[in-house]
């Protein structure tokens, strides 16, 4: 398979993977509805940075560490579940006032770190790229140009997709029409995140 064909194959599979519902999607929805598109865009940038971390770690052989110390994968999964539960509980206990304009906004750094932590602690993302690269890339034979292209494209494509969701859902016009009952959507997203955290823990044990 040529480098271009490999790149396109990975890009298509990645797009299908990103579009599947998961923690990233739930967090972006919550951030968009609760704080608006500006905060959600920063969270999307954090998610993209998390993808960069997964791609870099997988591409440069971090999966070997998982084989040597498999307990590290369990620790990461539990940290991820705890983080999802924390975010989910905040959404589940949301009050009507959280959708108002005077809500306390997280700082830019906090918004970015929420996205980064959500994705970086998602072990499924790491395993997804490990399986994808192991089947389509022979790292020692992969052209440097292809590696660089993937390191740039995959995080940027992920951030752009979630940014689009942030702009659509976090738009003032949309949020104003969700103002009265929007906190119920926040609670739904919180419940989804809590269920995801329970699923992660059950998968570990």
Would 15 be classed as within a structural domain? Answer: no
pLDDT < 70 positions in the chain: 1, 61-73, 76-77, 80, 94-103, 134-141, 176-186, 189, 200, 203-205
With residue 18 as reference, give the H or E element that holds it: helix 3-19
| Residue 7 located in a structural domain | no
| Cβ–Cβ under 8 Å, residues 196 and 101 | no
First to last CA, the chain: 39
Residue 31 included in any domain: yes
Token pair 């980064």 is found at 116
| Cβ atoms of residues 159 and 37 within 8 Å | no
The answer as to whether 29 is a domain residue is: yes
DSSP string across 124-143:
HHHHHHHHHHHHH--GGGS-
pTM: 0.72
Which residue from 12, 2, 16 is spatially nearest to 145, judged by alpha carbons? 2
The number of distinct structural domains making up the chain is 1
Question: Is residue 105 situated within a structural domain?
Answer: yes
Q: What is the CA radius of gyration of the chain?
A: 18
C-alpha–C-alpha distance, residues 11 and 150, integer Å: 8
100 belongs to a structural domain: yes
Q: Is residue 17 part of a domain?
A: no
* Burial profile 157-175: b = 16 or more Cβ within 10 angstroms, e = fewer: bbbebbbebbbebbeeebb
Residues spanned by the domain of 33: 25-204
On whether residue 50 sits in a domain, the answer given is yes
């Amino acid at each position: 398979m040529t480098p271009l064909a490999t790149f396109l194959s990975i890009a298509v599979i990645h797009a299908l993977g990103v579009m599947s519902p998961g923690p990233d999607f739930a967090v972006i929805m919550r951030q968009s509805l609760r704080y608006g598109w500006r905060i959600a865009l920063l969270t999307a940038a954090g998610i993209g940075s998390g993808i960069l971390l997964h791609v870099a770690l997988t591409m440069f052989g971090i999966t070997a560490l998982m084989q040597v110390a498999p307990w590290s994968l369990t620790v990461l999964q539990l940290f991820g579940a705890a983080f999802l539960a924390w975010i989910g509980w905040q959404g589940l206990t949301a009050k009507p006032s959280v959708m108002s304009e005077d809500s306390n906004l997280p700082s830019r750094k906090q918004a970015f770190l929420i996205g980064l932590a959500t994705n970086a602690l998602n072990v499924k993302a790491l395993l997804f790229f490990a399986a994808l690269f192991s089947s389509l890339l022979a790292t020692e034979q992969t052209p440097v140009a292809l590696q660089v292209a993937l390191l740039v494209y995959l995080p940027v494509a992920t951030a752009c997709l979630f940014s689009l969701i942030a702009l659509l859902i976090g738009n003032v016009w949309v949020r104003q029409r969700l103002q009265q009952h929007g906190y119920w959507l926040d609670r739904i997203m919180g419940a989804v995140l809590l269920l995801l955290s329970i699923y992660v823990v059950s998968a570990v044990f």
